[in-house]
Structure 1
Amino acid sequence: MTADCPLVVRTPAELLALLPYLLGYHPHDSIALIGLHGRDLDFGACFDLPPPDRGEEAARDVAGAVARQRADAVVIVGYGPPRRVTPIALHVTEALRAAGVRIDDVLRVDGGRWWSYLCEDPGCCPPEGSACLPPDSVIAAEATYLGQVALPSREDLIAQVAAVQGPAREGMVAATERARSRFPGLLNDVRRIRRAGRLAVREAEKRYRSGAALTDDEVAWLGALLTDRVVEDYALDRTSAHHWRVRLWTDVVRRVEPAYVPGPACLLGFAAWRMGWGPLARAAVDRALRAEPGHQLARMLFEILGAGIPPGAMSRRDG
């Protein structure tokens, strides 16, 4: 498995049981790809099944992104009925092979059973399919124990970066007004804004590293300061692959008012990408772009994710 989830996977059924924890949610009507580096699972990616008339084009796009990950081999998993999955699974297989990527297996999952397109031995891959492991399997329990989460669907993943509502939102509206009343005092001195921003970023990091959280006023103040691109860059430069950073920026992006979403959403997207959590990174960047379509950092991260550039392409640093 990986350093973040050091589990041993021996069979296709165990791999399929673990895949939702690698992605962060249970796939439906989609194609998932698992990159292998030696004996380790290097990355997981998932794409909605395209319309039949876009199968070959979508397969080429997927193959290009996956090839850039430089995995030793790839396992392709299609979720859905054969009439929907088989054409795109075969297109993706052909496109990856044309790109020089070795295919370890091609699987299909539907109705609690799985099939292999490559295995022709009825002893291990019967025509009626093989049963998937139950939700409470040992591999799922071990992944959960190690802190991995598999939400019911991608929609549930998107909801994890959505704005808080109810009393929590009302509290943030009031806190944002207080932050706005503080901000004019800094407007004539950019250096003061950036000093305050660096201090707020470091305090947030300290708080979440220790397992604590920011108050409403602290979140609102940090959100306002992150509208300065130098402060945003400062926070970005400090972002590394740690779970607590994902928790930090998830909390902030969910609590700030809409005008202040892009900065923390990009920082969450970058932190998730550094962790290898592509689906969460995409959900965060999509939210940033919905709030501000022209946001420079959001556009850059969107291109990085779309190009399939792996986190290992940049040097790791402690945070």
Structure 2
Amino acid sequence: MKTPDPRIKVDGPADFAQLLPFLVGHQPEDCIALHGRIATQSGTGPTMTLSLPDDPATWQATAAAFAAKFIHITHEHGAHDILDIVVFLCRTPRLGQSAEETAETLRPLADYFVDAFTNLGRAPVTSTVALVDNRWWAYECHLPGCCEGDPLPDPDDPTSVAAQLARHGWIPGRRTSEITQEFQPTEPEDAADLRRTLDNEGAAWAQYCANPSAGDTYLQATHALLETAIRDFRVGATELAHDITARLIFGLNDEWARDHGLENIEDDDLPHARRLWAFLARRAIPPHEGAVVAALTLLAAVVWRQDDIPTARYALKRALTLDPDDDFAEALHEAINYGVDSTALLPIARKAKAERLDRSQMNGPLTN
């Protein structure tokens, strides 16, 4: 996380609400953000975000788990001496719901976070803020009519925190919905044909998984199609035929095929690899969303190399929601949280490529 210019005064919920998009690198929607304030001139410390679950029945457990993770990462691994914590609850009103009703709905979640951090005993929550429709509510304020739905300062106001940050070259980034649009499943006009192709390829993948030792032909074809797809996207392709798309969506779930895809994280490969993995993610339409974990993880690796941390985080959140036990996605997620340099992926990818070429020269098995 970058540290804002210390000459910019940040004081109170409204100022921190303006600062939040600059801290997390995007304009959060339907999410929880935890921000730790530390003893520096700017006072800004680590910030972590999490998608806000729709079901209120899960909120207490979510608060307990997210608070514990924040403390673990920031205290045990981040070496931050946190003075206190600000909790942001960002939500778009549901159909037929006013901003006031939305803010009141979030009040129990704010209380759960206060309780969770109190139980952990490491840093107190000094402010819980709801951000709804560009307005803010501070739940700690009990004065009638105060801190209830006040509009955020106009970014065009030269005295606002947002305007001051903009003058120093900071940008708030894209909205969450714009980020996730890159890889969310999207049905093409011929969705029925694509779904039938995915059904057939899913059956072939299941057969391969049942007897991988006899599936060299399947995996060899996947590797060949992957090479062709990378080459086509390198020269400007933006989509693939349905049969190739389906084969890659399922085939990349093989460890060797996924490692083959990971090879494309050298600097010159990043733009076209990003387009390919995002395209595959968008084409994993229901009921086949679960097959796209590998492509989402490869997308996260590529955008991390491009220093696009918000997209990497959201792609990994999507992957881990689909498969919480995916080791590679979890490893990337932890590495990003701990501030590991993305160039750490390069020796891993280069080793995978060398091993693949060795297997090819020796005509050895491709399966893992």
Q: Which residue of 1 aligns with 2:184?
A: 161
Partner of 1:181: none
1:83 shift after superposition: 4.0
Q: Could you tell me how far 1:230 is from its partner in structure 2? A: 0.5
- CA distance in 2 between partners of 1:50 and 1:221 (Å): 35
TM (norm. structure 2) is 0.55
**TM-score, normalised to structure 1's length?**
0.61
> Shift in Å at residue 301 of structure 1?
3.4
Instruction: Name which of structure 1's ranges 216-225 and 62-71 shifts more when overlaid on structure 2.
Output: 216-225
Which has more radius of gyration? 2
Q: Which residue of 1 aligns with 2:128?
A: 106
Q: Conserved in 2, the CA contact under 8 Å of 1:13 and 1:132?
A: yes
Amino acid in structure 2 at the alignment position of 1:27: E
Matches within 5 A, 1:200-279: 203=231, 207=234, 212-217=236-241, 222-223=248-249, 225-236=251-262, 244=271, 246-255=274-283, 258=288, 261-269=292-300, 275-276=309-310, 277-279=312-314
What runs of 5+ residues in structure 2 fail to find an aligned partner? 91-98, 201-213, 347-368
Could you tell me which of 48, 56, 70 is aligned with 1:66?
70
Q: Is the 8 A contact 1:268 1:284 kept in 2?
A: no
Whether 2:342 is the aligned partner of 1:316: answer: yes
Deviations 1:221-267 (A, max 9, x none): 64465243201133347659998465442222213674963431332
Aligned counterparts, 1:1-319, within 5 A = 2=2, 10-11=9-10, 12-13=13-14, 15-17=16-18, 19=20, 22=24, 26-28=28-30, 31-34=32-35, 39=44, 42-48=47-53, 51=56, 56-70=60-74, 72=80, 73=82, 74-79=85-90, 81=100, 83-97=104-118, 98-101=120-123, 103=125, 105-110=127-132, 112-117=134-139, 126-128=146-148, 130-134=150-154, 139=162, 148-151=173-176, 157=180, 160-166=183-189, 188=216, 192=220, 196=224, 199=227, 203=231, 207=234, 212-217=236-241, 222-223=248-249, 225-236=251-262, 244=271, 246-255=274-283, 258=288, 261-269=292-300, 275-276=309-310, 277-286=312-321, 288-289=322-323, 297=326, 301=329, 310-312=336-338, 314=340, 316-317=342-343
**One-letter identity of the residue aligned with 1:113:** R
- Alignment deviations for residues 86-144 of structure 1 (CA, whole Å, 9 cap, x no partner): 3321331232242514546432334643243567999xx95556421358788499599
Q: Against the structure 1 CA distance between its residues 92 and 271, is the aligned structure 2 distance closer, same or farther, given a 3 Å change threshold?
A: farther
Q: 1:162 to 1:188 in 2, by over 3 A?
A: closer
User: Match of 1:165, SS?
Assistant: coil
Q: 2:88–2:128: 8 Å Cα contact kept in structure 1?
A: yes
Compared with structure 1, are the counterparts of its residues 7 and 176 closer, same or farther at alpha carbon in structure 2 (3 Å cutoff)? farther
Q: Deviations over 1:193-225 (max 9, x none)?
A: 586377458647x83xx9x44441475664465
Q: How far off its partner does 1:10 sit?
A: 4.5
Counterparts in 2 of 1:190 and 1:268: CA distance versus 1, 3 Å: same
Q: List gaps (5 residues or longer) in structure 1.
A: 178-185
Instruction: Name the aligned partner's letter for residue 254 of structure 2.
Output: D
Q: Which residue type is aligned with residue 282 of structure 1?
A: K
Given that 1:272 and 1:278 are in contact with CA atoms closer than 8 Å, whether structure 2 keeps it comes out as no
Identical positions, percent: 17
Q: For 2:298, give the aligned amino acid.
A: L
Q: CA deviation at 1:150?
A: 0.6
What SS class does the counterpart of residue 338 from structure 2 fall into? helix
Q: Do the aligned residues in 2 keep the contact of 1:75 with 1:103 (CA within 8 Å)? A: yes
- Give the whole-Å Cα distance in 2 for the aligned partners of 1:167 and 1:62: 41
- SS in structure 2 at match of 1:27: coil
